[in-house]
Amino acid sequence: MSRRIARCIAPLFVFIPLTSLFSGCGERVTVAEKVEAAPPTFASPDADAPEAASGLTQYCPSDECPTGYTTCPLSSFRCEVNFLTDRNNCGACGVVCPALDYERGALFECVDGACAMQCVQNFADCDGLLDNGCEVRIDTNDDCGVCGNKCAPDQPCNQGINGLECGCPDGKIYCGEAGCVDSDWDDAHCGVCGNACDPGAIENNTYKGCVKGECGRTKCAGLWGNCDNDPSNGCEAPLDTDDNCSACGAACGDAQKCRWFFQFPVPPFLACACPEGRSFCEIGLIDYDDRGPLPVGNCHDFSSDEGACGGCGVTCRSLRHNCEFGVCRLNCLDGTADCNGSEIDGCEVNTNADPSNCGGCGIECDGVAGQACVGGRCVVKPCDDVDAGGGMTR
Domain span including residue 152: 97-167
220: number of Cβ within 10 Å: 20
Q: What's the pLDDT score for residue 287?
A: 73
**Residue 250 resides in a domain:** no
pLDDT band for position 44 (cuts 50, 70, 90): very low
- Mean pLDDT over the full length of the chain: 80
Query: Is the pLDDT score of 35 beyond 60?
Result: no
One-character DSSP codes across 41-53: --SPPPTTSPPPP
**Residue 158 resides in a domain:** yes
Provide Rg for the chain, Cα atoms: 36
Return contacts of 271-276, CB within 8 angstroms, 24+ apart. Answer: 271/245, 271/246, 272/242, 272/245, 273/297, 273/299, 274/299, 274/300, 275/299
Q: What's the pLDDT score for residue 275?
A: 85
**Residue 345 resides in a domain:** no
Based on the structure, what is the number of domains in the chain? 1
**Residue 146 resides in a domain:** yes
Phi/psi-derived region of residue 314, left when phi > 0, alpha when psi is between -120 and 50, beta in every other case: beta
Please work out, in degrees rounded to the nearest 5, the angle formed at the alpha carbon of residue 16 by the alpha carbons of 10 and 22. 35
Q: What's the pLDDT score for residue 50?
A: 44
- The answer to whether 138 and 147 are in contact (CB under 8 A) is yes
Q: How far is CA 390 from CA 367, 386, 393, in A?
A: 24, 5, 9
**Residue 224 resides in a domain:** no
With CA atoms as reference, report the closest residue to 191 among 207, 212, 219: 212
pLDDT band for position 290 (cuts 50, 70, 90): low
Query: Is the pLDDT score of 185 beyond 80?
Result: yes
Its sign, for the CA torsion 118, 124, 129, 131, is negative
Spatial CB neighbours of 350, under 8 Å, sequence gap ≥ 6: 76, 77, 80, 335, 336, 357
**Residue 115 resides in a domain:** yes
**Residue 361 resides in a domain:** no
**Residue 218 resides in a domain:** no
The pTM of this model reads 0.49
pLDDT digits (tens, 9 = 90+) for 93-116: 999 988 877 777 888 889 999 998
- The answer to whether 214 and 191 are in contact (CB under 8 A) is yes
